[in-house]
Chains A and B, each alone.
Chain A
Amino acid sequence: MSKKEKVLMSGNHALAEAGIRAGCRFYFGYPITPQNEVAEYMSEHMPKAGGVFIQAESEIASINMVLGAAVAGARAMTTSSSPGITLKQEGISFLAGQELPAVIVNIMRGGPGLGNIAGCQGDYFQAVKGGGHGDYKTIVLAPGSVQELADLVRLAFELADKYRNPVVVLADGLLGQMREPVIFPEPVKHLPEKEWALQGAKGRPSRFSRSLILDVRAMEEHNWKLQRKYREMEHNEVRYDSFMLEDAEMVVVAFGTSARIAKGAIKRVRKEGMKVGLFRPITLWPFPKKQIRELGDTINQFLVFELNTGQMVEDVKLALEGKGEVFFFGRPGGVVPTPMEVATIIGSRYYQKLKRKPR
């Protein structure tokens, strides 16, 4: 693949290639649909890049291999889908507690339980509220296209190293399976030095990495230290996108695949004269609270659309701090509504609340 060539690739293959180009040389996974193509791609291409691919015995083992590789100073990643991500939460909590960088990609599927293998957004809460035990946060990046999936995997590695924190890329089965043109960035040439890594106590005192802190005051201090880091992330790393918000009287808030459907719906209702725009959080955590609150200064109508029964809508309401009216539309279980269906929902809400028939 040449430097700036545009290639047609599935999301799963693209995210794998993006990982390798981001300098990741250690991939540990376990098969689960709809993201099996990631491990298949890695098994073929990682050794060619001089890296290591292991098909682990479980998702639990794979996240702990990631932890081992991370503590030794390498860029490491794992991928899975919803039920497998649940199993990884133990390791993600340890990564957060030990302040180790890692990238975890969740190609979400329908749930709860074994659910199904269709694209879904039911893991929003799990991703943005920490996910495992304890008081911690992961940065959560939500791509809306195969290109953005590849771009955000690169960013995920950079942010993971910058903050020494696990970063989750939250996509879904649609994005994983969908083929779209992608342009990859140049492979990373220089990886950051990790002066904290455990590589043997050569020419320095020995060191250790732990999350056990038995002294409650020290444990509290560690928690506050983590929180200060999270505040810094909230300050620096909020990312979002918008579409036709300039004159909007109603905002649709959606992320990932649902934002894409919403965009199609907005184009339709715009043709009918409805002033509707899209706000798309790219970082689900840190959530673009300030930006949504500011939208609430001038816009009263918010429609949150998700492929679940209503998760991000809670964060939108919290961000608005009581301003505006928030309406939710969701389709859980792997059902993907058409832009036309969403346009109908937007239209009925728009007429109901703004009472302006287009001329």
Chain B
Amino acid sequence: MKKVYSRPKYLKLKKFHYCPGCGHSLIHKILMELVEEMGIAERTIGVAPAGCAVLAYDYLDVDVVESAHGRGPAVATGIKRVLPDAVVFSYQGDGDLAAIGTAESIHAASRGERILIIFINNGIYGMTGGQMAPTTLEGMRATTAIDGRKSDRDGYPLDLTYLLSQIPGTVYAERVSVNSPKAIRNAKKAIETAIRCQLDNEPGLALIEVLSMCPTNWKLSPLEACQYIDNVITKKFPVGVLVDRRRKVKKAVAENVD
């Protein structure tokens, strides 16, 4: 009988510590499926963030270094400059990428670093217990905005992926979600495209923002959390390709015109 599905080879045999309904385990899984399918396990180096995914090295069976909060793109820069043929990714949350690491992420894009940033946006600081994040939507409750985020008091949610997509050094930016089987398939395609940027030596940063569920801190059931992404979060952060500056694509388009 033909085997059509199995646990990804490069996902370690270890029980996830993530909460039920959390998006991290899904994203870890599709990332490791891609590492296997694309045959890049021996050249992949990951950078784990501070946050729930700090223990990513317990699950991802590739070389992984832990980074200080927000510094992932700088650490990934150092690795990629030493090992230009490696596939280097920095896995970061919204607080990590869009608050404490804003400078590192914007300047990795501005330098056109040939790395992949996987940006997990769940609109909350998960590991520290549900504080307001730069991406917390107006009205969304957090332990540091218990009556919900108010723009006149707490400022506005920050769309960092949009900001980064405006920088010429970003070759590819796409926002996806993992709240349904279809969304997960799309997310996997997007991450594959982004990894391919490094294999094709595209001259810049690839960024995939994943709208992810945090039922624990959202105080929702796993199912309600999936629905919340469709009904609320994507209204502010719509999924789709924000920018595609890949040379390969440009070349293909130009050839078609001819």
Contacts and interface: CB of A to CB of B under 8 A. Distances in A.
B42 A54 contact: no
Interface in A58-83: 58, 60-62, 64-74, 76
A68 B43 contact: no
Interface in A77-125: 90-91, 94, 98
Interface in B221-252: none
A61 B103 contact: yes
Contacts of B83: 72, 199-200
A198 B67 CA distance: 14
Given A52-B81, A69-B82, A74-B82, A61 B65 contact: no
| Chain A interface category by residue count | 35 or more
B195 to A, nearest CB: 14
Given A68-B65, A72-B45, A98-B66, A57 B78 contact: no
A76 B78 CA distance: 9
B64 interface: yes
Nearest to A199: B83
Give the bracket for the number of chain B residues in contact with chain A.
35 or more
Interface string B21-47: 000000000000000000001111101
Give the secondary structure class of B's interface.
helix
A198 B65 contact: yes
Contact of A57 (B42, B57, B107): B107
Interface stretch (B69-77, B185-193, B204-212): B69-77
Contacts of B107: 56-57, 61
Contact of B68 (A56, A65, A94, A206): A94
A90 B104 CA distance: 14
B167 to A, nearest CB: 13
Interface stretch (A208-216, A233-241, A261-269): A208-216
Contacts of B55: 212
A223 B227 CA distance: 46
A202 B42 contact: yes
A26 B71 contact: no
Contacts of A218: none
Given A54-B111, A198-B63, A209-B66, A91 B71 contact: yes
Interface-central residue, B47, B57, B83, by most chain A CB under 10 Å:
B83
B54 interface: yes
Nearest to A74: B82
Contact of B61 (A66, A74, A201): A201
B75 A67 contact: yes
Contacts of A212: 54-55, 66
Given A69-B81, A70-B78, A212-B66, A200 B104 contact: no
Contacts of B78: 26, 28, 64-72, 76
Q: Which 7 pairs from chain A and chain B are nearest by CB?
A: A68-B78, A64-B74, A208-B57, A57-B107, A72-B82, A69-B78, A202-B42
